[in-house]
């Protein structure tokens, strides 16, 4: 009984070159080892090495997966850092714009108050009083307290009441 007859596999067509070459190589290995018992012993000895190689390959794949995960995490952190920096830059530009606008409005109100002080003193009080501080606080600090608005209202009411009771200036 030959090796081909003892195998449980169905016979293959002899015209398949790959199969016939594979069978020849298997028969040569079987003959070189001295039979099926020696082949079984050789395969049993080879199995631990194959298991070790498999474990090594699994560890390499795990390390590659971990490296890819670390790389993805680093890329995500870099993207978040860029977004945060862009947001901080926009926030800084907004605060600086508020500072400039507040400074310009405050200087304009102060200048206008000084300019009209000689002729319309009650308007100068409104421009240079609590409303100046409230406008500066609103634009620079981005905060508006109800107490500030009450002070502006009291100042405006007092200035307009005083202006209504005041005598008109003499005409020269």
Distance CA 36, CA 29 (A): 10
Q: What is the pLDDT of residues 80-118, one digit of tens each?
A: 999 999 999 999 999 999 889 988 999 999 999 999 988
- pLDDT < 70 positions in the chain: 1-15, 18, 39, 162-170, 172
Domain limits at 98? 89-164
Residue 164 contacts residue 149 (beta carbons within 8 Å)? no
Q: Is residue 11 part of a domain?
A: no
Q: Is residue 107 part of a domain?
A: yes
Q: Is residue 160 part of a domain?
A: yes
Token pair in block for residue 145: 């307290």
Give the residue from 169, 148, 160 showing the smallest Cα distance to 124.
160
Token pair in block for residue 134: 């409230």
Q: Is residue 55 part of a domain?
A: no
- pLDDT at position 118: 87
Q: Is residue 119 part of a domain?
A: yes
Q: Is residue 127 part of a domain?
A: yes
Q: Is residue 95 part of a domain?
A: yes
Could you give the number of structural domains in the chain?
1
Distance CA 80, CA 73 (A): 10
Q: Is residue 30 part of a domain?
A: no
Token pair in block for residue 64: 């590659």
High-pLDDT (> 70) share of the chain, %: 83
- pLDDT at position 152: 73
3-state secondary structure string across the chain: CCHHHHCCCCCCCCCCHHHHHHHHHHHHHHHHHCCHHHHHHHHHHHHHHHHHHHHHHHHHHHHHHHHHHHHHHHHHHHHHHHHHHHHHHHHHHHHHHHHHHHHHHHHHHHHHHHHHCCCCHHHHHHHHCHHHHHHHHHHHHCCCCHHHHHHHHHHHHHHHHHHHHCCCCCCC
Token pair in block for residue 120: 């319309």
- pLDDT at position 57: 92
């Amino acid at each position: 009984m030959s090796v081909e007859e003892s195998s449980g596999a169905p016979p293959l067509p002899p015209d398949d070159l790959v199969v016939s070459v594979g069978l020849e190589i298997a028969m040569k290995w079987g003959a070189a080892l001295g039979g099926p018992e020696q082949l079984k012993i050789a395969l049993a000895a080879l199995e631990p090495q194959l298991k070790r190689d498999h474990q090594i390959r699994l560890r390499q794949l795990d390390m590659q997966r971990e490296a890819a995960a670390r790389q993805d995490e680093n890329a995500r952190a870099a993207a978040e850092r860029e977004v945060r920096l862009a947001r901080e830059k926009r926030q800084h530009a907004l605060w600086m714009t508020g500072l400039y606008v507040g400074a310009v409005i405050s200087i304009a109100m102060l200048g206008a108050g000084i300019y009209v002080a000689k002729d319309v003193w009650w308007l100068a009080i409104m421009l240079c009083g609590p409303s100046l501080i409230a406008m500066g606080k609103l634009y620079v600090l981005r905060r508006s307290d109800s107490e500030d608005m009450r002070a502006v209202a009291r100042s405006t009411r007092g200035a307009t009441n005083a202006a209504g009771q005041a005598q008109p200036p003499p005409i020269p």
